[in-house]
A and B are shown apart, each in its own frame.
Chain A
């Protein structure tokens, strides 16, 4: 298939960017979206132009690196996938495809389609962990009874890969789905309960410091999340936060 690509090009964080048109030809419908981007970049390199910078790593939907806003949707028009799992069969011959970086004040563009997502790292560092002794005297995992329901829910929350699609798709650039998933992951398990109040307080505080917006419950994030993280996680974070605030 032959396509017209409209891609955000930006030299660096301090330079103003703009949408630039490119043409790619003979793209196979079996290619992944990133393979199509590779074809474009090969074309650009061969013609002496600067290739388009974009984030990618595992290319199997697990690392959370790829981050493109394609035709107005985070990770493109398919559901439950990351950009690397998006295939060209989702598009038609002759289509014009818009390719943009995540947009949020807390995710500044570094170059072209690459954004700085260190804000997520700092939120994690503020409380997204449990303090355990790793001296070698770790106890048997089965020594702590955990209900199947809690284990399943915690596992579902832990599926968040921190790609930032929730922020990118949110009209308020809110990070509450991400933080909600991280809070939930630990709040449901006995190991996480010890530091639960400090965790949610510190993570929400850091989230606010990073300049993410306020959730208005549009639900766009859970639709675009490649890992199916739901709004239930945000509600739990709100409850945990209120509980922690009332405790003082």
Chain B
């Protein structure tokens, strides 16, 4: 794998892609929050993001590569680690005595998030690609009005979808609770500022998914 042939390089690559996705989440939640405050502004931002060539053909592919790299590398590391453990496992292993549940189960919280991303793409991304690039309608309009807010609002009328989203955000919180500070440790940062990073990471891991949950519930109950 060339540059990723060493275990530490793989750790650092994982951490860098994680920090990129953490930054993206912040952007995503900010735009989603605007949908709660001002449908018109949300429509305008959505239209800009959905039609701007730099966003569509520059940032979007980078984001998709970032997501795919993060989960593919996650699987690669998990498989390598399972191989390193060997065939015999402990008859009794008290993992809770020395580490947190979230840190030991990143692969499972990650898999739950991956399943959510598939659902999220089916819900929003594929229909957008269909309208814009297959049907060729770049206007963003439906019956003479911007369609983005209306589509978002309509999607969250379904309680099963809202339930799935809320559950996914809980897994996202669990993943971030370990992942945020872990990324800094992997990149070699463990010093007097680490306590601050850990606390900020925990706050981020709770607040951002809570905001996503709030937005989903808001659109569900105001429908």
Contacts and interface: CB of A to CB of B under 8 A. Distances in A.
Contact of B84 (A104, A204, A223): A104
- A interface: dominant SS: mixed
Contacts of B12: 238, 242
A100 B93 CA distance: 10
Contacts of B77: 214, 216
B114 to A, nearest CB: 17
B7 A207 contact: yes
Contacts of B185: 217, 231, 234-235, 238
A17 B38 CA distance: 66
B205 to A, nearest CB: 15
Interface in A75-109: 77, 98, 100, 103-106, 109
Contact of B94 (A73, A103, A174): A73
A79 to B, nearest CB: 9
Contacts of A193: none
A236 interface: yes
A213 interface: yes
Nearest to B77: A214
Given A73-B97, A105-B83, A214-B7, 9 more contacts: A6-B92, A72-B94, A100-B91, A105-B84, A172-B84, A217-B186, A235-B189, A236-B190, A238-B188
Interface of A: 6, 8, 17, 19, 69, 71-73, 77, 98, 100, 103-106, 109, 169, 171-174, 176, 204-205, 207-208, 211-220, 223-224, 231-232, 234-239, 241-242, 245
